[in-house]
Amino acid sequence: MLAGFLRKKKVELVKCITQPEIEVPADADFIIEGYVDPSEDLIWEGPFGDHTGYYSLPDWYPRFHVTAITHKKNAVYPATIVGIPPQEDAWLGKATERIFLAPIKMTMVPEIKDMDMPVEGVFHNLVITQIDKEYPGQGQKVMNAMWGAGQMMFNKILVLADQGVKIQDYLSLAQYVFSNLNPATDISFSTGPMDVLDHSCSKLGFGGKMCIDGTKKLEEEVDENYINPQTLPASKEIEDQLLQQYPEIKAVFAGLLDKGISCIILSVKKDKPGHIRQLHHSIGAGTNMQAIKMILYVEHTVEPSDLPTCLWRFCNNLDPKRDSHLFQSDTYPYVACLGLDGTRKSKELDNFQRDWPNIIVADDDTIKRVDEKWNTLGIGPFLSSPSLKYKSQLYGEEAVVGA
């Protein structure tokens, strides 16, 4: 169906040789035929390097019995190298957002104007959607529709904006979203199906979701008891204050404040259960923090000013519903600040019962071969392998060579 949609004409199908009840495209490069017997015992499989930039955790999967492999003359076997984004498969994600925008708009959510999946969000973790907003509650309507649309059900963080901003301009988008945001009322949480590759879920394939409604609010959507700060503190003031007051904070990035974005990022070394929750409520009640709407917490080994890496690590390590902590003042009117814990989870400190995977690091030969091919591909200025920063040291989630 997808191939027919893209080509605007039907795909010719033929019967398989050894599985004649199944039809396959006649001009496919390779066909691997076989069967799965549901009565057979499952087999232990993995781990594998995957597009998230982490190794997928091993688990039980069905056994596939191969009965034939056929191919056409001069067949091409397309393959990609996966790992820390951006890799080749990142652009499959960008193609997906363009390809599926029209079908989603036509069949399910007509008010959608545009959609963007940042590379650092590895397809499903972070999706930004622009809607043509006309009535109160429309953001929640779109949220529910998108989380029920095919593989969009695996989305973890959904950010909504309206016709007032271009969503591909990330600076303007962040300024717009945070100016319209009440952390206490405009962020919705849910639970549902998640990608089995999502290691942050407490249970395999099931976890929390979050929608940040950054649309301009209509009268019916505004909480009149909330103080929406108009002036943000200077970044240097906040950075100095937090580093002096909290020894567990190893680095602070408050530079977004100077750009009109009410969000800071903290690198924290956890050492006790409930550490991030306690720390967040202490910070929220502190002096000069009333204008901060959101704090992102990352592992102490992450440099918070490296926004692409920080966002990738944060999105992978967050279960939004489980790892969110809302500070709301008991004053009238009130201020609010949402803390999101994107640190590595463990049994000792977080009562996290699953294994935690390693970050993928490509071996030297793979990096060398990609580097040598770069200038012949016409894909823009040379980018060094993102694996290099993890080869000589461990970053909380341990790096493993050999992806």
Supply angle C-alpha 298, 384, 119, rounded to 5. 50
| DSSP strands (E only) in 214-262 | 249-253
How many C-alpha atoms does 283 have within 13 Å on its Cβ side? 34
Catalytic hit among 27, 37, 41, 50: 50
397: DSSP letter: B
332: DSSP letter: S
Q: How many other C-beta atoms lie within 10 A of the C-beta of residue 236?
A: 13
Answer yes or no: 50 catalytic. yes
Residues paired with residue 324 on neighbouring β-strands, in sequence order = 340
User: What distance in Å separates the CA atoms of residue 178 and residue 187, rounded to the nearest whole number?
Assistant: 11
Buried b / exposed e over 162-196, threshold 16 CB at 10 Å, is beebebeeeeebbbbbbbbbbbbebbbeeebebbe
User: What distance in Å separates the CA atoms of residue 392 and residue 295, rounded to the nearest whole number?
Assistant: 30
User: What distance in Å separates the CA atoms of residue 360 and residue 208, rounded to the nearest whole number?
Assistant: 24
Cis, peptide link before residue 333, omega less than 30° from 0: yes
Cβ pair 277, 300 in contact under 8 A = no
- Kindly list the catalytic residues: 50
